[in-house]
Structure 1
Amino acid sequence: MASLMLSGTGKLTVLNNRTPNGLGFTTSDFHGKSLSFPKSSINATSRVSYSRTSLVPKCSSSSVSSSSRPSSQPRFIQHKKEAYWFYRFLSIVYDHVVNPGHWTEDMRDEALEPAELTDRNMLVVDVGGGTGFTTLGIVKHVDAKNVTILDQSPHQLAKAKEKEPLKDCKIIEGDAEDLPFKTDYADRYVSAGSIEYWPDPQRGIKEAYRVLKLGGKACLIGPVHPTFWLSRFFADVWMLFPTEEEYIEWFTKAGFKNVQLKRIGPKWYRGVRRHGLIMGCSVTGVKPASGDSPLQLGPKEEDVEKPVDPFVFLPRFILGVLAAAWFTLVPIYMWLKDQIVPKGQPI
């Protein structure tokens, strides 16, 4: 099932010099239902059936709440400390179990295309780089010596170090919400499959803005929120599955311009998005001015040192295991439907 990608991707573009507090258009999702987004100024173009709409946005303040989805929302992977232990074991089989159903090589290359990795001398940071699967796509275009892989999991990074094409990359442990890079450092910021673990995604995207040079581009690849009720339930109790409008809002509030969202997914889904996608979209934005983000945030909300109540953790753990099982079975289910249902018919 590797080397397959979604046939027909969508790209949403926020116009320059706009600071929306959401999106503002109605379009069609890939299985015929309507997606209604809040107001903004946007062009929607796609090889699937979108309707084009352009609306006037409402401008938002430069000082906003840290996250539009509170970190107190119950999720199995509630914070980085839990994710650390999650990957302590998942790292053993990550490349062989997770990627074939959710993050194939062709999907990776399709998702990285908007990042415009056009110069082998670019400085690139791969945040939440894990086992280096996404980094392998980056070093096709950029010299490995100019690429830094950052992740909080030493077990994931150990897998990256074993990969020959990545031997010249800098590999460091670090926090996506508190990056160890100077301001105006990198030409490109890439993060794939990491935002779902961030307690405060707005803060992580603000950090992406800070570390980029003037004119630098951020490319964030992550999941999309499901519409099917059971998938939505498991997504919400497991980890963060942002909506498309949340991605655009976070980028815009951080100060990025030319914000675009490109839909991605496995080919055998035939574009169906109702179950959500672990890797469902690639969002890009350009840094328009040197220095830190204009967005002002308060202190971090997360306290990873706070003791865990075992009576609270246990039901979350059980729900998390069920959710992980569900999102492992969904791509198999969709693959089987793709084999059985005649081409051209909805699945």
Structure 2
Amino acid sequence: MASSMLNGSENLTLLRGIAPNGLGFVRSDIHGRCIPKMGLVSYARNSNSRARTLLPKCSLSSPRPASQPRFIQNKKEAFLFYRFLSIVYDHVINPGHWTEEMRDEALEAADLYDRNMIVVDVGGGTGFTTLGIVKHVDAKNVTILDQSPHQLAKAKQKAPLKACKIIEGDAEDLPFRTDYADRYISAGSIEYWPDPQRGIREAYRVLKIGAKACIIGPVYPTFWLSRFFADVWMLFPKEEEYIEWFQKAGFKDVQLKRIGPKWYRGVRRHGLIMGCSVTGVKPASGDSPLQLGPKVEDVKEPVNPFVFFMRFILGAMASTYFILVPIYMWLKDQIVPKGRPI
């Protein structure tokens, strides 16, 4: 079974463990030592089929310190962060990391083939991803959920989303009944979840049997400076972690598709903020088989002002860095002749 993955702007068909040259895979000089060897890894565990995708036998990146503090450490700080970022989000963040072309490519994996589907867009923010969803599904059947009223206010202003249900809510404690939705979509949100496994478990619960979840998010850097800023800012999961989270939640036919701005030419060492689209199918009705303990954070717990201020400074530096990275890559794409690695 072949798996289609997007590396940068190239859509690759990977079959029988054969990887093409020149795009950061075997014998490529784009990634250099970052991805030295690739191997087939099975990750769809069911009796009928074993879907396989091409992933490295070694780790995609250096280990991410589990205890490394991040600027967006909890939902309360994320709430404050987006109170200001919502003003410029669509005009500053999206052009460099989440273009319309990337959005539409990533949503192909969600298989939005019926306008009557019930879709929940979790962490929908300003509704940028929802605009891609309503191209395929009637807006009246789409719910946008986010914890930030400031982001949602921007979504309410967009004419194509007027018929959408727009509600405030928590990705780790969704206000939907079990077996509710045909599609669960979340883009650019998982990096702020204190417990990604809990959020993906909730995605499983709210879906109907045979329905599909699609989570779009960042990938961990391999370049040392990008790793540093990623660790002090927010969660950049490894590709293997996404797959493991989906499998533990109970999803089957788990697939990962790489995405990225076309000007990256396949380079992923800086940890793309929107770097992959991961999907999984719910095989049985009801709640997830995964049992979890209490939440890891209490949103009512007061934030230490000094600690928050220090993380705010580091976070501001990191966010500035990741705004400049796509500009740097775009300039390289303009200067370096086409066909040559950058």
TM-score by length of 1: 0.85
**CA, structure 1 residues 35+249, in 2 after alignment: closer, same or farther (shift >3 Å)?**
farther
Unaligned stretches of 5+ in structure 2?
A: 1-6, 16-24, 44-51, 58-63
Q: SS at the partner of 1:335?
A: helix
**Residues 1:272 and 2:254 aligned together:** no
- Picking from 7, 10, 14, the partner of 2:9 is 7
CA distance in 2: counterparts of 1:234 and 1:282, whole angstroms: 22
The letter for the 2-side match of 1:7 is S
Give the match for residue 321 of structure 1: 316
CA distance in 2: counterparts of 1:69 and 1:88, whole angstroms: 28
After superposition, the C-alpha distances for 1:94-136 in whole angstroms (9 at most, x for unaligned) are: 1000000000001000000010000000000000000000000
CA distance in 2: counterparts of 1:247 and 1:12, whole angstroms: 19
**CA, structure 1 residues 69+40, in 2 after alignment: closer, same or farther (shift >3 Å)?**
farther
The letter for the 2-side match of 1:44 is T
CA distance in 2: counterparts of 1:282 and 1:104, whole angstroms: 14
TM-score by length of 2: 0.86
Contact 1:77 1:238 in 2 (8 A): yes
CA distance in 2: counterparts of 1:131 and 1:267, whole angstroms: 23
Give the match for residue 44 of structure 1: 53
CA distance in 2: counterparts of 1:268 and 1:39, whole angstroms: 28
Contact 1:102 1:331 in 2 (8 A): yes
**CA, structure 1 residues 35+216, in 2 after alignment: closer, same or farther (shift >3 Å)?**
farther
Deviates more, 1:31-40 or 1:265-274: 31-40
Contact 2:53 2:255 in 1 (8 A): no
- Picking from 335, 338, 344, the partner of 2:330 is 335
Deviation, structure 1 residue 344: 1.1
CA distance in 1: counterparts of 2:281 and 2:65, whole angstroms: 24
Q: Aligned residues: percent identity?
A: 79
CA distance in 1: counterparts of 2:247 and 2:310, whole angstroms: 36
CA distance in 1: counterparts of 2:235 and 2:291, whole angstroms: 23
CA distance in 1: counterparts of 2:241 and 2:37, whole angstroms: 13
Give the match for residue 262 of structure 1: 257
CA distance in 2: counterparts of 1:6 and 1:247, whole angstroms: 19
**CA, structure 1 residues 293+326, in 2 after alignment: closer, same or farther (shift >3 Å)?**
same
Q: SS at the partner of 1:224?
A: coil
* Structural mapping, 1:60-71, within 5 Å: none
**Residues 1:303 and 2:298 aligned together:** yes
CA distance in 1: counterparts of 2:201 and 2:9, whole angstroms: 32
**CA, structure 1 residues 276+35, in 2 after alignment: closer, same or farther (shift >3 Å)?**
farther
The letter for the 1-side match of 2:197 is Q
CA distance in 2: counterparts of 1:6 and 1:157, whole angstroms: 30
CA distance in 1: counterparts of 2:13 and 2:111, whole angstroms: 15
* Structural mapping, 1:1-347, within 5 Å: 6-9=8-11, 28=26, 31-32=31-32, 33-34=34-35, 41-42=42-43, 43-44=52-53, 73-347=68-342
Unaligned stretches of 5+ in structure 1?
A: 14-26, 54-67
After superposition, the C-alpha distances for 1:32-78 in whole angstroms (9 at most, x for unaligned) are: 43267999525225xxxx78x8xxxxxxxxxxxxxx985x5400000
Contact 2:8 2:267 in 1 (8 A): no
CA distance in 1: counterparts of 2:135 and 2:170, whole angstroms: 25
The letter for the 1-side match of 2:316 is V
Contact 1:12 1:260 in 2 (8 A): no
After superposition, the C-alpha distances for 1:240-263 in whole angstroms (9 at most, x for unaligned) are: 000000000000000000000000
Corresponding residue pairs, total: 311
CA distance in 2: counterparts of 1:168 and 1:6, whole angstroms: 34
After superposition, the C-alpha distances for 1:233-289 in whole angstroms (9 at most, x for unaligned) are: 100110000000000000000000000000000000111000010100000000000
What root-mean-square deviation, in Å, do the aligned CA atoms of Structure 1 and Structure 2 show? 2.3
After superposition, the C-alpha distances for 1:178-215 in whole angstroms (9 at most, x for unaligned) are: 00000000000000000000000000000000000000
Contact 1:31 1:346 in 2 (8 A): no
**CA, structure 1 residues 11+77, in 2 after alignment: closer, same or farther (shift >3 Å)?**
farther
The letter for the 2-side match of 1:208 is A
Q: SS at the partner of 1:260?
A: strand
CA distance in 2: counterparts of 1:140 and 1:77, whole angstroms: 32
CA distance in 2: counterparts of 1:294 and 1:37, whole angstroms: 32
**CA, structure 1 residues 327+297, in 2 after alignment: closer, same or farther (shift >3 Å)?**
same
Contact 1:226 1:275 in 2 (8 A): yes
Contact 2:41 2:53 in 1 (8 A): no
Q: SS at the partner of 1:216?
A: strand
**CA, structure 1 residues 12+129, in 2 after alignment: closer, same or farther (shift >3 Å)?**
farther
